[in-house]
Amino acid sequence: MTRKFYIETHGCQMNVHDSEKAASVLQGLGYEPSTEPSAADLVVLNTCMVREKAARKVYSRINEIKRRTPDAAHQKRDRLFAVMGCVAQAEAARIFDKCSDVRLVLGTQSIGSFPSLLEQVDQGFPRAIDVRLSKHADFLDISPAERTRPHVAFITITEGCNKFCSFCIVPFTRGRERSRSPQTIVDEARGLCQAGYREVHLLGQNVNSYGLSGNYGARGEAGQRGDEITFAELLARVATESGIERIKYTTSYPRDFTRDIVKVMDEHPNLCEWVHLPAQSGSDRILRAMRRGYSRKDYNERIDWIKSAKKDISITGDIIVGFPGETEDDFNETLSLVAEVGYDSLYIFKYSPRPRTPAASYTDSVPEEKKTERFLKLDELQSRIQLERYARLVGRDVEVLVEGLSIRSDNDHMGHTRCNKVINFPKCDSKMGDIIRVKVEEARPHSLYGRVV
């Protein structure tokens, strides 16, 4: 009987894409996907470690899946639990101690090890683990069947991170920064275009650091020293050589965000009007303590480049509130930065100490209630700004990729604008995957509503 797998993804877009890669590898082994953990022989949890709450979720989820599994299936003796992703990388074999149900642990660079680890378990080993990190990690190919969205595809361009911000666990869980060869990226984008994809997202922890570490993947066909190109050059190549109609990218790192990125965005119509540029704080003192490597002035300079582009580019960001030592004055600086930039949307995080990071040992922590108070205050400010930012689109025609049924109503379709906003509109003749024009009629807190023109 064919074996089935179920994958559950927590965390960022990189994780979503990693799950697609894992699904591809498992399909290659003859496994079939299942949407129900109770029907699966292999249950994979793809995990996130960026905040403590996300990390703890793994264990509660495994227990929940076990509790909810109907009796008959629960008795399945050969059902395997696997943990992959950042928690797997950071906790490694400790996972086996914390949760005896887990039999497979795969680090962030070990998705390709599924076959050998499953084989070890098949041969009777009680547990199998691979959490090796390499400077030359492979960028796995992915079969189109495993892509989660039928018309929007993710393409990894960099992996890992060399920044070592004092709060962040990513360099420890995803290893050193590696860039994929430009030709492989262009080829993948072209292949996706030929397969009918209309939009691609170029992904990396810090996409603007592309090529800077001069370290292409092991299979980087064009990855010879000297072949390195900058992120702006890569964008231009993907824009001109792939044929894809809409190209987005995330996440940008302020220090490496150069002016020529904006220039290239202006020059190529298929580069979409959206930049995600996390500031983390508006206070120079806190930015220094975070080891971000830029000042508020530097950040604002980049915002000015983006705002002075010919295109009307949406800006989104991330902010951490309650970083150790953050005073009321520091927080007010963050409020003023957020007001000044006028983000189209903002992810706000309460600081959470992460193992092995320098900030975890800082003693001047901000009380939890204070973090919550600051979170709510910033959220309230952002909600007002966001509504204004969305309202300015009312009356305009925007380009929309039709992606599916609206979550709220079966009478409506939904899609994303080029500036990455969700827009709903009454169902029309258009098919999924069509790119259409919609007149915006209403701005809602997190989405737009319109009518097809």
In the bound state with ligand SAM, the residue whose beta carbon lies nearer, of 385 and 402, is 385
Distance CA 99, CA 93 (A): 10
CB of 134 to ligand SAM, least distance (A): 21
Q: Which is nearer to ligand SAM, 12 or 440 (CB)?
A: 12
Dist. CA 337–CA 378, nearest whole Å: 11
Mode of pairing for the β-strands spanning 435-443 and 4-9: unpaired
Minimum distance from residue 193 beta carbon to ligand SAM (Å): 28
Cβ-based nearer residue to ligand SAM, 69 or 206 = 206
What count of Cα atoms within 13 Å lies in the side-chain half-sphere of residue 312? 10
Give the nearest distance from C-beta 168 to ligand SAM in angstroms: 5
CA distance 40 to 220: 35
Which of residues 360 and 422 has its CB atom nearest to ligand SAM in the complex?
360
Q: Which is nearer to ligand SAM, 116 or 361 (CB)?
A: 361
Q: Are 422 and 406 in contact (CB under 8 A)?
A: no
**Minimum Å distance from CB 88 to ligand SAM?**
16
Nearest distance in Å: CB 209, ligand SAM? 9
- Give least dist CB 177 to ligand SAM, A: 11
Q: What is the DSSP string of 210-231?
A: TTTT--B-TT-TT--TT----H
Q: Exposure pattern of 52-80 as b/e (b: 16+ CB <10 Å)?
A: eebbebbbebbeebeeebeeeeeeeeebb
Of 103 and 371, nearer to ligand SAM (C-beta) is 371
Q: Cα separation of 61 and 10, whole Å?
A: 11
How far apart CA 360 and CA 99 sit, in angstroms, is 25
What does the binding site for ligand SAM look like in residue numbers (CB under 6 A)?
12, 50-51, 165, 167-168, 170, 205-206, 251, 253, 278, 280, 318, 320, 349, 351-352, 354
Rounded-to-integer distance, Cα 418 and Cα 196, Å: 18
Say which DSSP state 293 is in: S
* Residue entry with tokens 């030592």: 325
What is the closest distance, in whole angstroms, from the C-beta atom of residue 165 to ligand SAM in the complex?
6
Q: How far is CA 255 from CA 57, 173, 195, 199, 347, in A?
A: 32, 22, 36, 27, 19
Closest distance of CB 320 from ligand SAM, Å = 5
Q: Which is nearer to ligand SAM, 170 or 232 (CB)?
A: 170
Would you say 96 or 167 has its CB closer to ligand SAM? 167
